[in-house]
Structure 1
Amino acid sequence: MAVSNTPLHLRSLSLDHQSLSQMLIERENVLIIQDLDGVCMGLVKDPLTRVIQTRYLEAAKSLGSHFYVLTNGEHIGQRGVNGIVEKAVANPSTVKEQGLYLQGLAGGGVQWQDSYGNVSHPGVSDAELSFLNAVPDQIADYLRKLGQKLKLGLSQTQLETCIQAAVLDNKVSPTANLNVFHEALLDRPELYAELQQEIKKLMERLLEQAQQKGLGESFFVHYAPNLGRDNRGQEIMQPSQGKDSGTTDFQFMLRGAIKEVGVLVILNRYYYGQTGSYPLGAEFNVRQAPRDQPALLKLVQDNFDPAIMPTIVGVGDTVTSKAVENGNEIEFKRGGSDRGFLELIQLLGQEFNTGNVVVYIDSSGGEVKNRKALKLDHSNPENIQVTEGPGDSRDTSDPLTLNLVFPGGHKQYIDFFCHIAQARAFSG
């Protein structure tokens, strides 16, 4: 591969993993903030079948305070990542003893965990937790009724199997994951599209119920993948089109639980590890923070010492850009559950001149077939080029630049991640 002298943070769709590796190994003041599904684990239709590698867990632990996860999934519960971590290690008690749990934020930012599995929900009330606790059963009951109403053509056993896989009883982000229904209805896309719209209506009714209980400002619905936000700040569901499933995850989440706010919570803790004090206070959490990008950026500008600001590397796999015809013009709807936090990391790098790097993992090779694969030009084996990213190729004004990409998906990234962790430990 040809070597470029262009700084990493100014590149686009680069495959120069060696330069990124060198930077992460040699630079002490670095912070990796990383998504989970599709990044360090393959995307699967049923979250219960996810697998994580022990060597990855050991590498994450060795990076200490230089590594945190930031995910819309959860640490705990039947479908949480902690269960996957415990299965990966021969003796589950070893996980807690050695601190091999993945530290960082889950539930979009409202569920904190340290590496020893100590979990808390800063800023979340008992009334909110109680409401969320009832949501999974409501989703399951609604899916059973829809099975009869829409005549999905599934036997009672098949329908129940799909429901068991689709209803994620997460503590702070109960979710309807329609991947299994999309697969079951591949030959009847019109039925899946109707099911998708019905689940959207259910989520809207749940928000109305919360309003009636005095919790009108507590929740929002996160669609994954999505088409960005509308003029009211609400996420836009991506309708299915043919074999393209569009939005598959309908997550009922706590307001403030958006990943870009989680970046500030992690940064606040990172500074504490470096200085012994929290720039935003020890109790700062995502429920207290502003939700728009300019206000978040100003909060960092006003409170964080530039001399201590690390080079941040953001790692994700869900970034979308879809063309929508609007009369004679084409409008691009930009979304994806990782876009917000990656954009904020990019802006922080520009503001503090720290050379922050945005890393994209191509998760299109997983079981979930709603991801656009990177396009590569192999005509010169000595200098393979990425010719097209995950968004619409016509969207040339996308504010988010994907500096480095991993076309080999989570397996390629894990090899890279373990290498840098081992090298940093050796050099230290």
Structure 2
Amino acid sequence: MFKTKEEVIKTIINERNFLIVQDLDGVCIPLVQDPLKRKINKEYVEDVSKLKEKFAVLTCGEHEGRRGVNRLVENALNSKTEAKENGLYLPGLAACGVEFQDRFSNLYHPGLKNNEINFLAKVPKIMRSMLTNELTKFLPNLSNDLRNKLIDVAVCDTRFTPTLNFNEIFNYVKNDIKKVKGLQMIMEKIMNNLLNDSINFGLENSFYLHLMPNLGLNDGREIMKYATQNDFGTTDIQFIIKGAVKEAGLLLLLNKYISNKTGFQPFGENFNVRNAPKTINKLIELCRNKIPSDQMPLLIGVGDTVTSVNDRKTNSWLRGGSDRGFLTLIQKLGESYKKENQIIFVNSCNDQVLRPRITSTDMKGISDSNDDLKFNMIINEGPQEYIAWFKQLASNF
């Protein structure tokens, strides 16, 4: 049974020691086909600042750069300086765990090496060249002008998580699911070629591919969610630093949160996502060994990318999604520390990005009755409804 919005707010405000850990795109930022056209709500940005250290983002997007969320904040405020002066940037971890900033956009990059940063800088140009070759063969009737426009949208030149985003290309062929699947194979082929290039650069264990959404792992690799008549499945593949997963990022955020309150970092000053334990059970064990119950905050996890699909071949459930790991960890930490941690799911499907959406009675595509992950609250109408709920919560601070 799901809680009401008011019940979740009451649970949060009754606990003085709490931390909201929230994804961004699809939660407080509506999903769009072209990521450069994203917008963030000004009032939401101001409401976040009221919570100060009790709020942190945990996103596979990025803070800085022309595609960074910091640019969205500045656009919302119609100012290049106001966010810096008043601490209105969104604090927390980006790039799935390797780009940290505070409310004033003071940035650092825990766990990154210079040769990895240098290789990442080359990736968007290589992506563009490969994608141009593939689209020329796969969609030969495209004009050069339209092909270039689609490629401009598809190649996301972020600094630490260069990404192929095929939403716009999928939309071009949206009535032909066979072509959408063919494009997904092209997307995967390009990104696997990039992984091979990194090996030739001497970075064999530096990177992995993060598929959004995905169907979990097989032999350490994320499983592609192929398109169906109901949703496009995997639309984005990110080229990411190995170890940069949100569940490890959650512990880095806890390290920072507790340090702000006590002056002591329970996992040490050099803790980062790369030297963090690799399984949820080991992450919980580390928390139990290093964080006393009176220092562990009530955790509220908010996400939109969770998947669950029945594989008829093996008669088993394939469960994935970039938010599943950290939401599951928050739930299990609540169980371990006997705290009422809250898991909030936001329906992010809209007319631009087709995804499964759930109701109180239909969990198809997102969860299932045997799923360990349980949601406390569902935000049915996407970011707009979530922002209204967040405003209601922030009015208490």
With the length of structure 1 as denominator, give the TM-score of the two structures: 0.90
Q: Which residue does the alignment assign to 2:300?
A: 313
Q: Which amino acid aligns with 1:261?
A: A
The answer to whether structure 1 residue 373 and structure 2 residue 357 are counterparts is yes
CA-CA distance at 1:22 after TM superposition: 1.4
Q: 1:90 to 1:219 in 2, by over 3 A?
A: same
Structural mapping, 1:13-412, within 5 Å? 14-230=2-218, 232-242=219-229, 244-326=231-313, 330-365=315-350, 367-369=352-354, 371-375=355-359, 386-389=360-363, 391=365, 395-412=368-385
SS state of the match for residue 280, structure 1? coil
Give the CA deviation at 1:308: 1.3
1:117-159 deviations in Å (ceiling 9; x for gaps): 1221111011000111111111111111112111353211111
Maintained 8 Å contact 2:230/2:356 = no
Give the structure 2 partner of residue 5 of structure 1: none
Partner of 1:4: none
Query: 2:209–2:238: 8 Å Cα contact kept in structure 1?
Result: yes
Q: 1: CA distance between counterparts of 2:225 and 2:110?
A: 31
Q: How big is each residue's C-alpha offset from its partner over 1:83-114, in whole Å with a ceiling of 9 and x where there is no partner?
A: 11110002221111011110000000011011
In 1, the alpha carbon distance for the partners of 2:255 and 2:139 equals: 51
The one-letter amino acid paired with 1:246 is G
Separation of aligned partners in 2, 1:243 and 1:53: 29
Question: 1:188, CA displacement in angstroms?
Answer: 3.2
1:415 corresponds to 2:396: no
Mapped contact 1:178–1:249 kept (Cα < 8 A): yes
AA paired with 2:94?
A
Q: Which one is further off, 203-212 or 238-247?
A: 238-247
CA distance in 1: counterparts of 2:393 and 2:370, whole angstroms: 33
- Does structure 2 conserve the Cα–Cα contact (< 8 Å) formed by 1:33 and 1:313? yes
Corresponding letter in the other structure for 1:299: L
8 Å contact 1:364–1:373 — kept in the other structure? yes
Separation of aligned partners in 2, 1:417 and 1:390: 26
Contact 2:356 2:366 in 1 (8 A): no
Distance 1:119 1:104 in 2: 10
* Letter matched to residue 414 of structure 1: I
SS in 2 for 1:63: helix
CA distance in 1, matches of 2:86, 2:269: 26
CA distance in 1, matches of 2:270, 2:37: 36
CA offsets 1:41-73 (integer angstroms, 9 cap, x no match): 111111111111111111111101110000001
The alpha-carbon deviation at position 248 of structure 1 amounts to: 0.7
SS in 2 for 1:246: coil
Q: CA separation of 1:275/1:330 partners in 2, compared to 1, >3 Å: closer, same or farther?
A: same
Q: Give me the whole-angstrom Cα distance separating, in 1, the residues matched to 2:304 and 2:78.
A: 29
Aligned-residue offset at 1:244: 2.7
Q: Distance in 2 between matches of 1:392 and 1:86?
A: 33
Distance in 2 of aligned mates of 1:299 and 1:421: 32
Q: What is the deviation of 1:392? A: 6.1
SS at match of 2:395: helix
Gaps of 5+ in 1: 1-11, 376-385
Do the aligned partners of 1:363 and 1:410 also contact (CA within 8 Å) in 2?
yes
The SS at the match of 1:387 is coil
**One-letter amino acid matched to 2:72:** I
2:361 partner SS: strand
Query: Which 4+ runs in 1 deviate beyond 4 A?
Result: none
Structure 1 position 356, deviation (Å): 0.7
- AA aligned to 2:387 is I
Give the drift of 1:374. Answer: 2.0
Per mean C-alpha deviation after superposition, the further-off stretch among 279-288 and 148-157 is 148-157
Aligned to 1:379: none
Q: What is the aligned length?
A: 397
- Aligned-pair CA distance for 1:243: 5.8
Contact 1:323 1:392 in 2 (8 A): no
Note the C-alpha offset of 1:366.
Answer: 5.0
Change (3 A) 1:173 1:356: same
Q: TM-score, normalised by structure 2?
A: 0.97
CA contact (8 A) 1:42 1:366 kept: no
- Taking the aligned partners of 1:297 and 1:349, their CA distance within structure 2 comes to 10
Q: Describe the SS at the equivalent of 2:295.
A: coil
Provide structure 2 residue ranges, at least 5 long, that are not aligned to the other structure: none
Tell me the secondary structure at the aligned position of residue 228 of structure 2. Answer: coil
- Asked whether the 8 Å contact 2:121–2:159 carries over to 1, the reply is yes
- 3-state SS in 2 of match to 1:154: coil
